[in-house]
Amino acid sequence: MLTIRLNGENPVSTRFVISPIWEVMTSYCLFALRSEHYPAYYEWVSEAYRATENIPFPYLDALFKCIHFFPDFLTPPTLKPIMNIYDEIDGIRAASPEVVRRDINELRQRISDLAPEEDLILREYVEQTDRALERLVGEVELYWRLTLARHWPRMQEIVEADILYRARQLALGGAEMLFAELDPNIVYQDFELRFKKKHGQDYAVESDRVILIPLIFSCYSPFTIVAPEWYPSLSYQPRGWGLWCSSEQVSANEAMEITLGTGRAKILQCLMMPTSTGEIANRLNITAGAVSQHVARLSQAGLVTSTQSGKRVYHQLTQRGEMLLNLFSEA
């Protein structure tokens, strides 16, 4: 059990962070352990194996010997809302030898068998930290470019849409509403956040801030960081995470299509979660201009509302839009 005691209920104390390096490391859990328990990732895993065929990642492999643990120094802390992969790689390169030694010692305590070459690499992390980290970041960058870089724009859109939804929950209902549906293993009550861990030691910490990291690859239940030099951090799986690898066309309900027209009916179905103009256009194989025209008419009817976030505009159903969609779903 991980217990985080928050010093006061304040929305500012909960921060969301979009981190590609977290996606790199959690995806590598699937990749390195050759996991077959998550069929939703099958297409990506197969693609990743083909892209990296005959390419070794020894300095990464040595760190991924436990299904529920990888060293904290692989995910350097940040308070920036959206991170750049290369800035995060620089953060790994700059990890302090003390933190690396601490994490390697913890890793050794969790594993019972090591191949001789893996043992040598772990020793190098401790005894020649700068050299080992330089080799590690080379592997991380190569793995990123071969397996995730082309998927990242779509993954980021889904994660950003989820954060908009969670921020609305936090604003309307406070921490109780936010954490109520974040993950079944996470419980919030009386200024305490409790995470029912399946493995590892029990921890209880006090903090004035908790970092939430939405991850497409948060498939082994939430990952956590509880380290003295940083705020406690929790990952969770965002709404609509399965859409990142889905290229299926949306088929409109026939009755709704007759009533609203094919284009607007399909767009309404796309908006079961906040979705950007570009993502709708991609899913429906139409232009962004066409999406904007349909959304404008749906907004005039009170069915859709739009929010600007950076360079993107996200659209979501209003309560009236949800009622209409439910009405046609029941028909």
Give the number of C-alpha atoms closer than 13 A to the C-alpha of residue 81, restricted to the C-beta side: 10
> CA 281 from chain center: how many Å?
23
Range of the domain at 92: 21-150
Last residue of one domain, picked from the residues 106, 122, 150: 150
Give the number of C-alpha atoms closer than 13 A to the C-alpha of residue 185, restricted to the C-beta side: 17
Residues 132 and 34 in one domain: yes
Q: What is the mean pLDDT of residues 172-192?
A: 83
Answer yes or no: are the C-beta atoms of 79 and 17 closer than 8 Å.
yes
Pairing relation of β-strands 312-317 and 233-236? unpaired
Residues 90 and 207 in one domain: no
pLDDT interval class at 197 (50, 70, 90)? low
**Structural domains of the chain, count:** 3
| Least confident piece of the model among 25-29, 88-92, 317-321 | 317-321
Answer yes or no: are the C-beta atoms of 282 and 248 closer than 8 Å.
no
Which two structure tokens, joined as six digits, stand for 50?
A: 């083909």
Rounded CA gap, 134 and 294, in Å?
Answer: 50
Using DSSP's 3-state secondary structure scheme, residue 25 falls into: helix
Q: Which of 132, 153, 118, 149 is nearest to 24 (CA)?
A: 149
Give the number of C-alpha atoms closer than 13 A to the C-alpha of residue 53, restricted to the C-beta side: 4
| Least confident piece of the model among 31-40, 56-65, 116-125, 211-220 | 31-40
Per-residue model confidence (pLDDT) at position 96: 94
Rounded CA gap, 70 and 223, in Å?
Answer: 9
Residues 282 and 178 in one domain: no
Last residue of one domain, picked from the residues 150, 177, 211: 150
Residues 66 and 161 in one domain: no
Residue 243 lies in a domain: no
Residues 304 and 263 in one domain: yes
Instruction: Give percent of the chain with pLDDT exceeding 70.
Output: 90
Per residue in 252-271, pLDDT (tens digit) is: 577 788 888 889 998 988 88
Q: What is the mean pLDDT of residues 321-325?
A: 85
